[in-house]
Structure 1
Amino acid sequence: MWFSRDLKPALCWLFLLVMLGFMRWSVAAQLLQHDGEVSKVQPIKLNTEEQQWIRDNPRVIVASVQYPLYLFQDEHAHWNGLNSDVLKRISAMTGLQFVHQESFSTDHLLERLERGEADISTTLAMSDERKVFLNFSHAFGGAGWVFVGRVGEPQVQSLEQLAKRVLVLPARHALEGIIRRDYPAIEIRSVKTYAEARALVESGEAYATIENEIGAQLFPSGLLRVGDLLEGKWEADHLAVRKGQPELLSILNKALEAFPPEELRAIRLKWLDGVSPLPVPSVWQRIASWGCWAMAVIGTFGLLSLVWNRRLRAAIRQRTEAEKDLGDQLAFQHALINSMPDPVFVRDLLGRLIMCNRSYEEALDIRFDQVQGRSLMEVDALPKITSRMLHDEFMAQLQTRKTRFCRRQLQFKNGSREIYQWTVPFYSADGKLRGLLGGWTDMSRRLH
């Protein structure tokens, strides 16, 4: 009797661990199956016109803007992300070759589609303005829009709350037309990218911005916080196709209709698991959890030490997993920064270099390990006049705590260049100023 009574709670915990392991194995099996089956996908059935269109147009130009985790370039300059995996699957189903051409803002991307320089895009939300020159495929997922405001201000819960306040949005944002029409009291300020929008909110020059909830969770900041979902607005994931290509739209829709739901679910888990909001536990999961706790409560005082030891082991395991997840996140962020084509750097309150990417090293012909912890004045990377000017600007900006975006002519060692420079103060989690994050785009190189 004593053996039976002591064994029941242990069996319950063992059963729970087995079920959790089975669930993890199922998810891992779906991801492994997705990675291994792309090469043996069965082609979809296309009519004569669609087959001829593919023969005439085998390469489809994709206007792509980097938006982790949906679409971004890795450290080898290869396009990756959720939308990239979807295009690879469609390519295997149809024979189309998708060629990415990078754009540097939503406005730039839309201009390329309008001018006919690209055929499709994977990161555009649907809007009335865009329907004029774009068709949209069937949806294959989506996320909500959320408000992003500043810590210390009331949490943004609705558009009505933004009346007579500054709302900053990337130019030609999908919601801009609706907000201007329905909420004329809101002052809208346009910038090029979401990074600039977040910087203006962080500095207090704007009250809030609106962003995809996945993107908002991916770039946390000590002075920013995510508000409520924008009620009644949903950003569905579509493939935007330039008008005048009905065959291409039909091919993409047929491919999306034939896309196995379990594979699409596995792709989304691969990229968005841990970033997107957690799903609500099922009834079965709740019943199993309650049953196990009930069995534990019924156990005798002699089992308390066993329960304590198991809880301690579980806590150690969770901490180990949390450290691994943190390491993975830091590795991802490091790879993401290094994959950026433009130079990016981070400096502390004294102007000393904390971090930089490979593009920064290449642009100044330096190695990070040789210049880490040193200011521009202590490094022979730029002409002395340029180094002194930039160092003084950094120190002045740290005093004013203002963001800076400007186009200027700057003297490098190998000559003068026209650049688009940006520097943004950054803060710790407790709101203390820690230094400057900055970089530049070589406009002369872009023109070539």
Structure 2
Amino acid sequence: MRFYRGVKPALGWLLLLAVLGWGQAGMAAQLALHGEAVASDIEPIELEEHERQWIRENPTVAVASVQYPLYLFQDEHGHWSGLNNDVLKRVSAMTGLQFEHQESFSTDHMLERLESGSADISTTLAMSDERKLFLDFSHAFGGAGWVFVGRSGAPAVESFEQLSQRTVVLPARHALEDVIRRDYPAINIRSVKTYAEARALVESGEAYATIENEIGAQLYPLGLLKVGGLVEGKWEADHLAVRKGLPVLLSILNKALEAFPAAELRSIRLKWLEGITPVPVPSVSQRLTQWGFWGMGGLGLFGLLSLVWNRRLTAVIKLRREAEKDLSDQLAFQQALIDSMPDPLFVRDLQGRLILCNRSYEEALSVRLDQVQGRLLFEVDALPETTARTLHDEFMVQLRTRKARFSNRQLQFKSGPREVYQWTVPFYSADGKLRGLLGGWTDITQRRVESGCRCLH
């Protein structure tokens, strides 16, 4: 009995912590269930007659969409998915508008579509003075900060002043490009097509840093890169960007966003971004509080192990099974994300042997992963022998020089010559060791055929 009286306060604290944990888990589950329930019973918003007439005359809105997990991407079935797509579905149910995605391949390409009028809106563009000249922006429905991304081993980039006389690489027409050129003329800006190219140039040492949305920066394995500080005073709010000349559409979208229930928007963001947003470093007082809780929990755990060992063992087994299920779900999601990419992707080791590929790679070369895994490119009857040996030799040169490569070129496939945009970049382990090549290509010939382009060369 004396022992029980001694551990009773600790047991009380442990039970309180358990109740608080269960309460948070229950709240998250309720948010998810609430989102599903609301999606099945959505009331249309009240619109003016001229707005309803506009929808009758323009029932479909063209969306310029670029792959940007987890905000917007195509799943393994080729369907658009992600946080922004869920928002569009909710707006569609509230207004009757139908949204048709038109895939773009870079920020510059997306802006060109909107400027030419071939697309009406975009969901992933940040606001800037240059873009306000031809775009209107809806009310914000979320957002994230910008962060500096530099090379591991170099001092963490915390401000623009550290980048004076250095090269910063950005995707063409980046939202912060004009601000940097105006306020920090000593920074040398290099433009590329995509964030993937920007990260590769920083990793290879050809650029000192890049700037990326903090969610996107945390999503990808960093390898030789590391995330620095937030760009002070530059918050990237989530907006729907609407091309100029569509004020009625902008009004309809704003009314839908105003009527968007805050609880449902929060549940959508939790569904896609929970576990991705970086966790802030706790203060000293917070750490002391946490250590105090852990100390009390340890005492309580000791008492519980003495009193209810068998029950505790059962709980541990249950938790382990749940953790294994969570891990399996995460791996399945990562594989689905890779397979959802529309362009062929592959990973090769230091000898050029295939480690991994996605479904688009299998379809493009008419192979299966289990047939070609662990084999060199010229050992597989997937490409003409001359093409296969040329590409293999290029891979070996890249592995020796550790240089990234991005090029437009013509390659001979079994089906004939194809114009492609090809990219290959070295990748590294967490301890900085070279592990192989990551690469892929975009079939420009096929894209032109699908888009109906009749360009002359």
Residue 39 of structure 2 is aligned to residue 38 of structure 1: yes
SS of alignment partner, residue 40 of structure 2: helix
With the length of structure 2 as denominator, give the TM-score of the two structures. Answer: 0.91
Q: Which residue of 1 aligns with 2:160?
A: 159
Matched residues in 2 for 1:68 and 1:129: separation?
Answer: 25
Matched residues in 2 for 1:150 and 1:292: separation?
Answer: 37
Matched residues in 1 for 2:40 and 2:60: separation?
Answer: 19
Q: Which residue of 1 aligns with 2:174?
A: 173
Matched residues in 1 for 2:281 and 2:65: separation?
Answer: 33
**One-letter amino acid matched to 2:219:** L
**One-letter amino acid matched to 2:238:** D
**One-letter amino acid matched to 1:434:** R
Q: How does 1:78-89 map to 2 (within 5 A)?
A: 78-89=79-90
**One-letter amino acid matched to 2:207:** A
The answer (yes or no) to whether the contact 1:63–1:101 under 8 Å persists in 2 is: yes
Residue 397 (structure 1) shift? 1.0
Q: Which residue of 2 aligns with 1:355?
A: 356
Matched residues in 2 for 1:302 and 1:69: separation?
Answer: 44
**One-letter amino acid matched to 1:414:** S
Q: Deviation string for 1:180-201 (max 9, x for gaps)? A: 1111111100011000100111
Cα distance change of structure 1 residues 158 and 143 upon mapping to structure 2, 3 Å threshold: same
Q: Which residue of 2 aligns with 1:236?
A: 237
Q: Which residue of 1 aligns with 2:371?
A: 370
- Please list every run of 5 or more consecutive structure 2 residues that lacks an aligned counterpart in the other structure: 450-457
With the length of structure 1 as denominator, give the TM-score of the two structures. Answer: 0.92
Q: Which residue of 1 aligns with 2:122?
A: 121
User: What percentage of aligned pairs have identical amino acids?
Assistant: 73
SS of alignment partner, residue 40 of structure 1: coil
State the aligned residue count.
Answer: 446
Residue 221 (structure 1) shift? 2.0
Cα distance change of structure 1 residues 34 and 385 upon mapping to structure 2, 3 Å threshold: same
SS of alignment partner, residue 65 of structure 2: strand
Cα distance change of structure 1 residues 316 and 228 upon mapping to structure 2, 3 Å threshold: farther
**One-letter amino acid matched to 2:40:** S
Residue 25 (structure 1) shift? 1.4
Matched residues in 2 for 1:89 and 1:100: separation?
Answer: 15
Q: Which residue of 2 aligns with 1:95?
A: 96
Matched residues in 1 for 2:291 and 2:367: separation?
Answer: 60
SS of alignment partner, residue 108 of structure 1: helix
The answer (yes or no) to whether the contact 1:6–1:303 under 8 Å persists in 2 is: no
Matched residues in 2 for 1:163 and 1:77: separation?
Answer: 43
Residue 155 (structure 1) shift? 0.6
SS of alignment partner, residue 419 of structure 1: strand
SS of alignment partner, residue 403 of structure 2: coil
Matched residues in 2 for 1:347 and 1:185: separation?
Answer: 39
Cα distance change of structure 1 residues 441 and 293 upon mapping to structure 2, 3 Å threshold: closer
Residue 113 (structure 1) shift? 0.3
Q: Which residue of 2 aligns with 1:200?
A: 201
Cα distance change of structure 1 residues 128 and 7 upon mapping to structure 2, 3 Å threshold: same
**One-letter amino acid matched to 1:191:** V
Cα distance change of structure 1 residues 188 and 289 upon mapping to structure 2, 3 Å threshold: closer
Matched residues in 2 for 1:379 and 1:183: separation?
Answer: 52
Residue 29 (structure 1) shift? 1.5
Matched residues in 1 for 2:431 and 2:298: separation?
Answer: 41
Q: Which residue of 2 aligns with 1:274?
A: 275
Q: Which residue of 1 aligns with 2:442?
A: 441
Q: Which residue of 2 aligns with 1:253?
A: 254
Q: Which residue of 2 aligns with 1:264?
A: 265
Q: Which residue of 2 aligns with 1:47?
A: 48
Matched residues in 2 for 1:151 and 1:287: separation?
Answer: 30
Matched residues in 2 for 1:153 and 1:280: separation?
Answer: 21
Q: Deviation string for 1:201-246 (max 9, x for gaps)? A: 1111110000000000001222010000001110000000111111
Moved more, 304-313 or 255-264: 304-313
Q: Deviation string for 1:289-320 (max 9, x for gaps)? A: 79866866887996785699999998887776
Residue 340 (structure 1) shift? 1.0
Matched residues in 2 for 1:399 and 1:189: separation?
Answer: 25
Q: RMSD over aligned Cα, in angstroms?
A: 2.8
Cα distance change of structure 1 residues 183 and 296 upon mapping to structure 2, 3 Å threshold: closer
Cα distance change of structure 1 residues 258 and 406 upon mapping to structure 2, 3 Å threshold: same
Q: Which residue of 1 aligns with 2:418?
A: 417
Residue 407 (structure 1) shift? 0.9
**One-letter amino acid matched to 2:364:** A
Q: Which residue of 1 aligns with 2:398?
A: 397
